[in-house]
Chain A
């Protein structure tokens, strides 16, 4: 509609050129300054640690490359258990949490027991220490001596899923409640049923909004899956503990710790990226 607009060729004014030059000088200065301060702090720290009287002892009992190499396979084998358990438990806990959150939104007298049960569940399992739930599941449940009792590993996994499901349910619920009622009104006014409204309008927006806190809980779960070793299965930390007892050297713990951090890095990276993207989207749109 509008007439074609021809922008005039643009040349920054002298004052703008001076500003650009000033900002560039400031940038170079701050980069140099941060490099220098990092170097100073690094040297000071290294000197304080390696110059300490007990450093030689600590170095040999925590950072022994021989021991690290010797026990790495055992620890990796334990870590493989962590990874498998993490993947299965994450998926199961996300599904359980979503289900519970949706059940808690149901209105109507018929759904009272479902709603009450879902609410009671989130209250109970967010309050209960994970270790107690683990013991009850892995030692208590097999005590029933029922036919077809699953392995301790499966029971431990179930305990993790049930505890984390309660946390994730609350995160999902917060997301569902953050979707403005006008969105529901718009969907229902189009003739969509409650189910269709949830499925197509509310949940997609809710899940997008709570992805960062959900991933945060997954990172926490990553560390807690190792607790199943309390009931017998050998995870990375337990493998490190056994190795430490054999040679009276703590290096295996350091190895396990480094592996855990490496395992968490991609997940933390994804969390940061998702958070950043959400923040950017929010500031871009109205």
Chain B
């Protein structure tokens, strides 16, 4: 088992965001977190990446307790890649520099090596010609693909994707989803929070429905999305269908 969250509790003030939540992710598995805004999807991802601390419970990565206060968060984050809803590319750096920064500074790879690797990835996703451009010259879809490449060049054990298509224009969503589908074929272990139910159905091995910081229902996509057992899951999916998103 690659990732294991046990009885995780997280509060922001009096607001209980994750309530005794337990989730396990195997190597090469793709887990899609679905649920309304505020259900705790993004918070769970941020907790796994130690961008925010938890108030109770244990999170293990490859069996190691990463929520132990004695663990070095910087060392943990090196093993986890994260992609954000709003891309968060560094605007003062070229695309290539965005991608090579961590290999150079964190993993101390040779400059030529990290450059070659970055270019290989950029070519693979059709962005080699943008290597010397600054992020503001790129479309949202291109920026998000660069952000994914930026996370991948560090060979993370686990990739966290936080609503990576939510900020994109509809016609740009496809190119990012295609890229993620390719990552699944490579065997990348992913946990993704998403509003794209159709995509969750295609790419996820398991869909997890969160509500109020708890897992309400989890299982294969065909079951959770097609034949949900829990009334709250049904309610949520009904609203999604009403909005024309499924």
Residues on A lying within 8 angstroms of B by beta carbon are 182-183, 185-193, 196, 200-201, 204-205, 208, 284-286
Asked if B91 and A188 make an inter-chain contact with CB atoms under 8 angstroms apart, the answer reads no
Interface centre among A186, A189, A204, A208 (most CB of B within 10 A): A189
**Interface bits B47-76 vs A (CB < 8 Å: 1, else 0):** 001010000000000000000000001110
Asked if A189 and B80 make an inter-chain contact with CB atoms under 8 angstroms apart, the answer reads yes
Within the complex, which residue of B81, B88, B106 is in contact with A183, where a contact is CB–CB below 8 Å? B88
How far does the alpha carbon of A196 sit from the alpha carbon of B108 in the complex, in Å?
13
Give the residue name and chain of the B residue nearest to A186 (CB).
B88
Q: Given that A182-B86, A196-B106, A208-B92 are contacting pairs, would A191 and B136 also be in contact in the complex, using a CB cutoff of 8 Å? A: no
**Interface bits B172-197 vs A (CB < 8 Å: 1, else 0):** 00000000000000000000000000
How far does the alpha carbon of A285 sit from the alpha carbon of B134 in the complex, in Å?
10
Q: Given that A182-B88, A183-B90 are contacting pairs, would A192 and B105 also be in contact in the complex, using a CB cutoff of 8 Å? A: yes
Contact partners of B82 in chain A: CB under 8 A? 186, 189
Contact partners of A201 in chain B: CB under 8 A? 90
Asked if A284 and B136 make an inter-chain contact with CB atoms under 8 angstroms apart, the answer reads yes
Can you list 16 A-B contacts with CB-CB less than 8 angstroms, sorted by A residue number? A186-B84, A188-B73, A188-B74, A189-B80, A189-B81, A189-B82, A190-B102, A191-B78, A191-B154, A192-B105, A192-B106, A200-B90, A200-B101, A201-B90, A205-B91, A285-B136
Contact partners of B75 in chain A: CB under 8 A? 191
Asked if B51 and A185 make an inter-chain contact with CB atoms under 8 angstroms apart, the answer reads yes
**Interface bits B94-131 vs A (CB < 8 Å: 1, else 0):** 00000001100111000000000000000000000000
Residues on B lying within 8 angstroms of A by beta carbon are 46, 49, 51, 73-75, 77-78, 80-82, 84, 86, 88-92, 101-102, 105-107, 136, 147, 150-151, 154
Interface centre among A187, A190, A191, A286 (most CB of B within 10 A): A190
Contact partners of B46 in chain A: CB under 8 A? 185
**9 tightest Cβ-Cβ pairs between the two chains A and B:** A285-B136, A186-B88, A191-B78, A190-B102, A189-B82, A191-B106, A191-B77, A182-B88, A204-B92
Asked if B91 and A285 make an inter-chain contact with CB atoms under 8 angstroms apart, the answer reads yes
Asked if B92 and A190 make an inter-chain contact with CB atoms under 8 angstroms apart, the answer reads no
Contact partners of B51 in chain A: CB under 8 A? 185, 188-189
Contact partners of A286 in chain B: CB under 8 A? 136
Asked if A190 and B84 make an inter-chain contact with CB atoms under 8 angstroms apart, the answer reads no
How far does the alpha carbon of A187 sit from the alpha carbon of B97 in the complex, in Å?
13
Q: Given that A185-B51, A286-B136 are contacting pairs, would A191 and B102 also be in contact in the complex, using a CB cutoff of 8 Å? A: yes
Tell me, rounded to whole Å, the shortest Cβ–Cβ distance linking A178 to chain B. Answer: 13
How far does the alpha carbon of A4 sit from the alpha carbon of B105 in the complex, in Å?
43
Given A186-B90, A191-B107, A192-B105, 19 extra CB contacts under 8 A: A182-B84, A182-B88, A183-B88, A185-B51, A185-B88, A186-B84, A188-B73, A189-B151, A190-B101, A190-B150, A190-B154, A191-B78, A192-B102, A192-B106, A193-B74, A204-B92, A208-B92, A285-B136, A286-B136
Contact partners of A192 in chain B: CB under 8 A? 74, 101-102, 105-106
Contact partners of B89 in chain A: CB under 8 A? 186
How far does the alpha carbon of A188 sit from the alpha carbon of B147 in the complex, in Å?
14
Give the residue name and chain of the A residue nearest to B90 (CB).
A201
Give the residue name and chain of the A residue nearest to B153 (CB).
A190
Asked if B91 and A191 make an inter-chain contact with CB atoms under 8 angstroms apart, the answer reads no
How far does the alpha carbon of A187 sit from the alpha carbon of B78 in the complex, in Å?
11
Contact partners of A190 in chain B: CB under 8 A? 77, 101-102, 106, 150-151, 154
Contact partners of A285 in chain B: CB under 8 A? 91, 136
How far does the alpha carbon of A196 sit from the alpha carbon of B101 in the complex, in Å?
10
How far does the alpha carbon of A168 sit from the alpha carbon of B147 in the complex, in Å?
34
How far does the alpha carbon of A201 sit from the alpha carbon of B73 in the complex, in Å?
19
Tell me, rounded to whole Å, the shortest Cβ–Cβ distance linking A108 to chain B. Answer: 13
Give the residue name and chain of the A residue nearest to B77 (CB).
A191
Tell me, rounded to whole Å, the shortest Cβ–Cβ distance linking B23 to chain A. Answer: 19
Asked if A196 and B105 make an inter-chain contact with CB atoms under 8 angstroms apart, the answer reads yes
How far does the alpha carbon of A194 sit from the alpha carbon of B46 in the complex, in Å?
17
How far does the alpha carbon of A183 sit from the alpha carbon of B101 in the complex, in Å?
14
Contact partners of A208 in chain B: CB under 8 A? 92
Within the complex, which residue of B74, B88, B90 is in contact with A191, where a contact is CB–CB below 8 Å? B74
Interface centre among B46, B74, B91, B136 (most CB of A within 10 A): B91
Tell me, rounded to whole Å, the shortest Cβ–Cβ distance linking B64 to chain A. Answer: 16
Contact partners of B80 in chain A: CB under 8 A? 189
Contact partners of B74 in chain A: CB under 8 A? 188, 191-193
Within the complex, which residue of B49, B77, B105, B147 is in contact with A200, where a contact is CB–CB below 8 Å? B105
How far does the alpha carbon of A192 sit from the alpha carbon of B75 in the complex, in Å?
9
Give the residue name and chain of the A residue nearest to B134 (CB).
A285
Contact partners of B150 in chain A: CB under 8 A? 190
Contact partners of B90 in chain A: CB under 8 A? 183, 186-187, 200-201, 205
Tell me, rounded to whole Å, the shortest Cβ–Cβ distance linking B93 to chain A. Answer: 8
Contact partners of A205 in chain B: CB under 8 A? 90-92
Contact partners of B136 in chain A: CB under 8 A? 284-286
